[in-house]
Structure 1
Amino acid sequence: MTGTDELAALNGASDWSRFRVVVAGLGVAGFAAADGLIEYGARVTVLDNADSGPVAERATLLETLGGTVRLGPGSTDRLPADADLVITTGLPPHQPMMLEAAARGVPVWSEPELAWRLMQPEKQIPWLGITGTNGKTTTTEMLASMLTAAGLRTAAVGNIGRPLTEIVLDPEPYDVLAVELSAQQLHRTNSLSLHSAAVLNLHPDHLEWHGSEQQYAADKAVIFHNVQHSAVYNVAEEVTRRMVEEADVVEGARAIGFTLGVPKVAMLGVVEDILVDRAFIEQRQTSAVELGTLADIAPDAAGAGSAPHNVANALAAASLARSFGVSPTAVRDGLRAMRVGGHRIQTVGEIGGVRYIDDSKATNPHAAHASLTAFDSVVWVAGGQAKDVTFDEMVTEHAERLRGAVLLGVDRDRIAEALARHAPQVPVISVPDTDTGAMARVVEAAASLARPGDVVLLAPACASRDMYTDYAERGDAFATAVQGLAARGE
């Protein structure tokens, strides 16, 4: 085994041929990590419990390149005896191989941690990082759009888009990267020093992975460690400000707030319908600069002005862009050019005066809360994997706007119980089916409860993998079911 100090210093200039590296997980990020490590000369072993489809195809390619691959059920249960380092793309800390690595003192890194180290010391690309329970992807895409509008070569990467390892090894030059980072990725990082970073919000999620709300928050806060320029927090969420106060940042780094209200000094905010900056201008003590208007922000969830959570996303993205020197005009142009991806408050049909909205990406209660807030009268479609969170607070807050609820998925009874406790007047239909026709029955049930002027809203507040590959497949199933309902004239 190599020394601890030598492992701690590994970077793009190191002699990787001396190290045996295990890559746990052969998804897109795992493949990029393994491919990059093989290119650097490391002796790579890749483990994945799956053994077919894209995983099998990637395995064949990696074996051709000189990697060792072990696939099939149980492959990630044991750590190879000669492992010097583990790269994981999502295994929780309590998973057997992770526990074994900890017991043996074998370092475990995330794929972003590997990418950051391989980038050192020669290829210095600034990272603008974004994390939070909700809004990460939209904010990252907004930021990338602003950077592009400023004429910078950039990409939205990390937890979305191309894996970071692939990007940093790309021979094409990048001026700056817009990087979405999940708490799971941050849990296994220790050397990042981002140009600037933002925590959008913090609400219970993925507690089955992190083990507690405290650990989840601690993992999110890692993004501020060694920030060089600006640590961006949400004025409405005190916990994000405390993260900045407690962070060990580079000397001279600034705390920058964003708010839906009128901003104080060192904040971005809203004055009437104008987005303004009182942080990155010399005259911030007495004035502000206009960055755009609410009308420049998409998506317009309710059809009558931008949804509040998306205004917050835009302000967070603008904070990071401005920290990198992007002009107010480029911030505005980036917002105008922004095109939000699917399954985020997306209208998929209108039948008999009822709008059908797909927000399948609302995979936790806080995201579903933001979605419900945008509408006045809703038939709520919810359920899936609850991830050890509760629904009482959300149901209590939105009880008056619920025309009805249709529930599906493995943890639908948990939502039903919250509705029974806090909104007993709301009619609830539970759909126990899990076959491919289940969503069609869900949509039919929702249609039976809806009245003209209502919205049938898929905002599940739960993960999707009990029934679907991911939230996108769930959203596609919903859209297909709505189209089928329309074709039948119902």
Structure 2
Amino acid sequence: MGSGQVTSSVPSGPSEFQGKHVTVAGLGVSGLPAAKALHARGAIVTAVNDGDDARAREQAAELEALGITVRLGDGATLPEGTELIVTAPGWQPGKPLFRAAEEAGVPVWGDVELAWRLRGPDAAPWLAVTGTNGKTTTVQMLASILKAAGLRTAAVGNIGVSLLDAVLGDEQYDVLAVELSSYQLHWAPSLRAYSGAVLNLAPDHLDWHGSMDAYAADKGRIYEGNQVACVYNVADPRTEDLVREADVEEGCRAVGFTLQTPAVSQLGVVDGILVDRAFVENRQKNAQELAEVSDVDPPAPHNIANALAAAALARSFGVPAQAVRDGLRAFKPDAHRIAHVADLDGVAYVDDSKATNTHAAEASLAAYEPIVWIAGGLAKGAEFDELVANSAKRLRGVVLIGADRALIREALARHAPEVPVVDLDRTDTGAMLQAVTEAKRLAQAGDTVLLAPACASMDMFTNYNQRGDAFAAAVRELGA
């Protein structure tokens, strides 16, 4: 669904935005549809944007053709008369625009908040997912399960489909599978999901949030006002702490997911079977089989956890067990997420280029043994001691690439001094072929060569997709 659909869904009655001066902060994926939706509802819209590049000018022209005022290259000044700001989720709370808004008593919403408030009276409920890692996969699994149950649904939010498009477009939904980032949750004070899940918590985006406590608190907003279930990760007590702190609807339950045998009000794993002891009658004594571990693609531990979280949210909505199984079987993960590329001389080559932080890389490393690990890139302020210490026993060897590889090399020297390390002193894109060649030299039959960089990719590549493609191309070249 394109942003053009938004303007077609204009309310027939009076709008709360009629004549209201609204500033839209930031163009792009969220700003453009927000400005159009507000304008269509009679708001006097001014769009402001920090950048003034060709893309911004193209978007500005599109809005100006509708009669919307646009200020490019000036996202710091609060336009005179502003009564509400609707911001792109990535804009940091400390920006001068928001400080000025706070002093003037002007509320700030994100695009998720706007979408929530613009929902119609018969709007589809939201099953919402957040967490440091695994959000997109879990939401896609959830949507697959809901579809298998015959429900009209879509995976929306931080996953690439604008929530505004979903709630204002012509298509009717029974329920939405919603991915929400910590940024989006920060700017969504009145969001109340049907059920919500926090998959995990690890240090990330701390430059934006200011502290780990602030980051966790924004993640925890997903539980506020939940109606049926607050889904948490038994292995990550901080997620359960957020449930305890949440103000929920009467009767809403805490539901855990675990890779172990589940207790009452949990989903877990027993003898290779995903089972439910939360949404069954007489859960003190009974459990419902949902699917086999082999139905999850790929069946790595952290991906099984994703499947359990998706199943818990679907079950909270009344989805039958068979639909959980069928939905998981139908789901295929996106590229560059623990994707098996090839087997060469008894060695498996796995692309997890999406593992751009230490938490994701540790989950990836936990799925294999022994491993020749290809790692490195832009560290974004991360520290690697805990990752290396927890994964050292699995490592056959390590090949380091990228601008901040020295940080990983130093952690390896401290916590895994016996593991051979190849340090490639180059950051050109051609380095990947050399990295895979060195990994092949270190690997033995039965090993896995794993690209799980624990770092961002922009020092060498356009994005993690290009990095993963380079890895796969290098593997194919070696196997030719």
Please report the TM-score for the alignment, with normalisation by the length of structure 2.
0.91
- Written as runs of structure 1 = structure 2, the 5 A alignment for 1:120-269 is 122-269=121-268
For the residues of structure 2 that align with 1:49 and 1:20, how far apart are their CA atoms?
A: 20
Matched-pair contact (CA < 8 Å) for 1:244–1:255: yes
Q: Which amino acid aligns with 2:265?
A: A
Deviates more, 1:102-111 or 1:444-453: 444-453
Matched-pair contact (CA < 8 Å) for 1:131–1:223: yes
Matched-pair contact (CA < 8 Å) for 1:30–1:89: no
Matched-pair contact (CA < 8 Å) for 1:131–1:182: yes
Kindly state the Cα deviation for residue 54 of structure 1 after the two structures are TM-superposed.
Answer: 4.8
For the residues of structure 2 that align with 1:467 and 1:325, how far apart are their CA atoms?
A: 46
RMSD: 2.2
For the residues of structure 1 that align with 2:432 and 2:61, how far apart are their CA atoms?
A: 36
Q: Which amino acid aligns with 2:401?
A: L
SS of the residue corresponding to residue 197 of structure 1 reads strand
Matched-pair contact (CA < 8 Å) for 1:130–1:180: yes
For the residues of structure 2 that align with 1:106 and 1:410, how far apart are their CA atoms?
A: 42
Count of residue pairs brought into register by the alignment = 467
Matched with 1:102 is: 102
Matched with 2:118 is: 118
Kindly state the Cα deviation for residue 220 of structure 1 after the two structures are TM-superposed.
Answer: 0.7
Matched with 1:346 is: 339
Q: Which amino acid aligns with 1:317?
A: A
* Counterpart check, 1:375 vs 2:376: no
CA-to-partner distance for each residue in 1:192-235, whole Å, 9 max, x for gaps?
Answer: 11100011111111212211111111111110011111111112
- Corresponding residue to 2:473 among 473, 477, 480: 480
Q: Which amino acid aligns with 1:84?
A: E
Matched-pair contact (CA < 8 Å) for 2:27–2:88: no
* Counterpart check, 1:316 vs 2:309: yes
Kindly state the Cα deviation for residue 352 of structure 1 after the two structures are TM-superposed.
Answer: 4.1
Kindly state the Cα deviation for residue 52 of structure 1 after the two structures are TM-superposed.
Answer: 4.3
For the residues of structure 2 that align with 1:95 and 1:485, how far apart are their CA atoms?
A: 49
Q: Which amino acid aligns with 1:47?
A: V
For the residues of structure 1 that align with 2:471 and 2:22, how far apart are their CA atoms?
A: 42
* Counterpart check, 1:400 vs 2:399: no
Structure 1 residues 143 and 18, CA, compared in 2 at 3 Å: closer, same or farther?
A: same
Q: Which amino acid aligns with 2:101?
A: A
- Corresponding residue to 1:412 among 397, 405, 413: 405
Matched with 2:89 is: 89
Matched-pair contact (CA < 8 Å) for 1:91–1:98: no
Please report the TM-score for the alignment, with normalisation by the length of structure 1.
0.89
Matched-pair contact (CA < 8 Å) for 1:207–1:388: no
Kindly state the Cα deviation for residue 350 of structure 1 after the two structures are TM-superposed.
Answer: 3.7
Matched-pair contact (CA < 8 Å) for 2:15–2:42: no
Matched with 1:9 is: none
Matched-pair contact (CA < 8 Å) for 1:464–1:474: yes
Q: Which amino acid aligns with 2:342?
A: G
Q: Which runs of 5+ in 2 are unaligned?
A: 1-12
For the residues of structure 1 that align with 2:393 and 2:197, how far apart are their CA atoms?
A: 34
For the residues of structure 2 that align with 1:229 and 1:402, how far apart are their CA atoms?
A: 43
Q: Which amino acid aligns with 1:390?
A: E
Q: Which runs of 5+ in 1 are unaligned?
A: 1-11, 300-305
SS of the residue corresponding to residue 23 of structure 1 reads strand
* Counterpart check, 1:361 vs 2:354: yes
CA-to-partner distance for each residue in 1:32-52, whole Å, 9 max, x for gaps?
Answer: 222322222323333344444
Matched with 2:67 is: 66
- Written as runs of structure 1 = structure 2, the 5 A alignment for 1:414-429 is 414-429=407-422
Q: Which amino acid aligns with 1:412?
A: R
For the residues of structure 2 that align with 1:254 and 1:13, how far apart are their CA atoms?
A: 38
For the residues of structure 1 that align with 2:23 and 2:249, how far apart are their CA atoms?
A: 32
SS of the residue corresponding to residue 461 of structure 1 reads coil
Structure 1 residues 234 and 46, CA, compared in 2 at 3 Å: closer, same or farther?
A: same
Q: Which amino acid aligns with 2:15?
A: S
Matched-pair contact (CA < 8 Å) for 1:127–1:176: yes
Matched-pair contact (CA < 8 Å) for 1:206–1:388: no
Matched-pair contact (CA < 8 Å) for 2:429–2:461: no
Deviates more, 1:29-38 or 1:51-60: 51-60
CA-to-partner distance for each residue in 1:130-157, whole Å, 9 max, x for gaps?
Answer: 1111111111111101110111110011
For the residues of structure 2 that align with 1:275 and 1:326, how far apart are their CA atoms?
A: 15
Q: Which amino acid aligns with 1:70?
A: R
Matched with 1:302 is: none
For the residues of structure 2 that align with 1:83 and 1:351, how far apart are their CA atoms?
A: 62
Deviates more, 1:144-153 or 1:427-436: 427-436
Matched-pair contact (CA < 8 Å) for 2:341–2:475: yes
State percent identity of aligned pairs: 58
Structure 1 residues 289 and 89, CA, compared in 2 at 3 Å: closer, same or farther?
A: same
- Written as runs of structure 1 = structure 2, the 5 A alignment for 1:428-447 is 428-447=421-440
For the residues of structure 1 that align with 2:436 and 2:234, how far apart are their CA atoms?
A: 38
Q: Which amino acid aligns with 1:170?
A: G
Deviates more, 1:336-345 or 1:432-441: 432-441
Structure 1 residues 46 and 478, CA, compared in 2 at 3 Å: closer, same or farther?
A: farther
SS of the residue corresponding to residue 175 of structure 1 reads coil
Matched-pair contact (CA < 8 Å) for 2:30–2:88: no
CA-to-partner distance for each residue in 1:376-431, whole Å, 9 max, x for gaps?
Answer: 12222222333333211110111122232233334322222211211122233334
* Counterpart check, 1:30 vs 2:31: yes
For the residues of structure 2 that align with 1:33 and 1:410, how far apart are their CA atoms?
A: 38
Q: Which amino acid aligns with 2:409?
A: A
Q: Which amino acid aligns with 2:386?
A: E
Kindly state the Cα deviation for residue 328 of structure 1 after the two structures are TM-superposed.
Answer: 0.8
